[in-house]
Amino acid sequence: MPGISFDRAVDYYDATRGYPPGVAERLRDAIIAALELSRSAQILEAGVGTGRIAIPFIEAGYFYAGVDLSRRMMGQLRRKLDSRVHRVHLICGDAMHLPIADSTFDAVVMVHVLHLVEDWRQVLNEAHRALRPGGAIVLADEVRGECDGADHTPRAQVQRAWSAILDELNVPPDQRRDGAPHGLDERFRDHLHALGATVERTTLITYRQQLQTVREVARRYQERMYSSCWILPDHIHAEAARRLQHWIDEQCPDPDTPRDAPARIDAMIARRT
Ligand SMILES: C[S@@+](CC[C@H](N)C(=O)[O-])C[C@H]1O[C@@H](n2cnc3c(N)ncnc32)[C@H](O)[C@@H]1O
């Protein structure tokens, strides 16, 4: 299996992963500024999904190509575009074997995809191959929480509770995808350096996350809306969901108070020399 297809997530992906209004547009502008992209720049996104990152670029008139294993996710992207003519090219394919000629793109964007693919090194090799000299790979990821590093958001509280429950249930690492890289893993930097790229890390934007309650986030785990829940055997997931409900009912002090928190989107930017 080349990666985890999000076919099953298409009906709820945007509702559960969307940014607050205006954030995706600010992210686009920050990427354009960081890469000094001209209006004629050609951009590729590996794992384009429903276009959370792509649509602001496409609507601003950039040429944007997207590759994804999931035809359904890309179908959703298309449905969201307005009726104007757009410069967009969507390809159902595997980021480990990009169906793209060498040295074609000015930028290759990847957000929330390297932890899903079978071999992230191969995806970075392919992204680097697809870049023109001087072009850049942008790996972007959200960093949540207060500036002291503490994360008291409902998402983080539930994540910690869920992880403790999986520990109690002795769920082995392969059923939790513990080996998968998270965020802007330093191994990405090492691999990109080995490819000959120069790599810098930067903060693209800061924003406030959507208001959420613990109960809402917990329901996403209980209803298997996160990909980390998909590989758990059904009976383990059912037991973990039951224990999470017990945690909400008995231990969580405030499950229904909406909270937001500061967040930022950081990037690793690797330029092909
Ligand atoms: C979490 S979504 C992220 C989508 C988008 N980048 C965003 O930030 O909203 C990950 C996407 O990567 C796709 N994907 C997973 N493995 C892949 C692979 N090997 N090649 C191409 N796409 C892949 C999934 O189908 C899914 O649409």
Regions in the chain scoring below 70 on pLDDT: 145-150
Q: Is the CB of 95 within 6 Å of ligand 1?
A: yes
Residue nearest to ligand 1 atom 12, measured at CA:
47
Q: What percent of the chain has pLDDT over 70?
A: 98
Q: Is the CB of 155 within 6 Å of ligand 1?
A: no
For the chain, the domains span 7-271
Residue nearest to ligand 1 atom 1, measured at CA:
112
Query: How far, in whole angstroms, is CA 35 from its chain's centroid?
Result: 20
**Per residue in 98-150, pLDDT tens?**
999 999 999 999 999 999 999 999 999 999 999 999 999 999 999 986 656 66
Ligand 1 centroid, distance to 84 Cα (angstroms): 25
Best residue for ligand 1 mutational test, from 113, 125, 182, 227 (most atoms within 8 Å of Cβ): 113
Q: How far is CA 48 from CA 26, 37, 140, 172, 190, in A?
A: 18, 19, 13, 30, 24
pLDDT at residue 255 in the model? 95
- Gap between the Cα atoms of 91 and 115, Å rounded: 20
The closest of 267, 8, 3, 272 to 138, measured between CA atoms, is 267
The closest of 241, 240, 215, 228 to 155, measured between CA atoms, is 215
pLDDT at residue 176 in the model? 85
Q: Is the CB of 56 within 6 Å of ligand 1?
A: no
- Gap between the Cα atoms of 214 and 248, Å rounded: 8
pLDDT at residue 147 in the model? 56
Domain 7-271 maps to which CATH number in 3.40.50.880, 3.40.47.10, 3.40.50.150, 3.30.110.60?
Answer: 3.40.50.150
Pairing mode of beta strands 198-208, 131-144: unpaired
Q: How far is CA 236 from CA 1, 246, 267, in A?
A: 23, 15, 35
pLDDT at residue 158 in the model? 95
pLDDT at residue 82 in the model? 79
Best residue for ligand 1 mutational test, from 45, 78, 116 (most atoms within 8 Å of Cβ): 116
